[in-house]
């Protein structure tokens, strides 16, 4: 009889515990947003502008005024999160990203320089995705704890994004 009563009490208590855990995860997600907002303010205080999205290295400008890309550059495909790394306690990842990076033993990268390294800020995310360590690094403060999803390709993911504005399809086109 006592075991049945304990079983009923546990059955009643379990949903309450799960609800409390989910509330804690939502609060953690909210704190991630606050940290992201603070990092944006700190970036602005340091540079007098907000971080740009779609920046990075390229191989120059072609005759049409568009970025030329090569395997050794990232073709201007870096997220604004790259510039924010030092402002939300990811300084070590920033150091790894902003300096030339040597491939590890056994890796056969395609996007390397003549010196055998990836250039600072790395290749395009779709080149050497599984070799270039910064693209594989998961940053906990950029993931909502309520999201149980895992990357199927083994790269760092985020639940937050930057807006390009309302005309992404018109970027690079003539105004007409």
Structural domain boundaries in the chain:
1-50, 53-136
Indicate the pLDDT class of residue 38, thresholds 50, 70 and 90.
very high
Say how far apart CA 30 and CA 107 lie, in whole Å.
38
| Residue 82, pLDDT score | 87
Question: Which pTM was predicted?
Answer: 0.73
State pLDDT tens for residues 135-173. Answer: 888 888 888 887 777 766 666 778 787 776 665 555 565
pLDDT in tens, 47-76: 999 888 878 887 777 777 776 666 677 777
């Amino acid at each position: 009889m006592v075991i049945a009563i304990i079983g009923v009490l546990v059955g009643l208590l379990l949903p309450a515990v799960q609800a409390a855990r989910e509330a804690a995860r939502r609060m953690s997600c909210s704190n991630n947003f606050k940290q992201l907002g603070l990092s944006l303010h700190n970036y602005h205080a340091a540079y007098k502008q907000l971080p740009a999205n779609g920046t990075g290295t390229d191989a120059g400008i072609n005759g049409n005024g568009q970025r030329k890309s090569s395997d050794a550059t990232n073709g201007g495909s870096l997220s604004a999160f790259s510039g924010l790394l030092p402002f939300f306690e990811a300084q070590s990842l920033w150091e790894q990203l902003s300096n030339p990076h040597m491939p590890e033993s056994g890796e056969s990268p395609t996007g390397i320089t003549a010196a055998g390294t990836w250039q600072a800020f790395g290749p395009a995310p779709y080149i050497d995705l599984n070799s270039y360590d910064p693209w594989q690094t998961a940053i906990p403060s950029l993931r909502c704890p309520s999201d149980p999803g895992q990357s199927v390709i083994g790269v760092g993911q985020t639940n937050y994004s930057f807006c390009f504005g309302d005309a992404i399809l018109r970027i690079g086109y003539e105004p007409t």
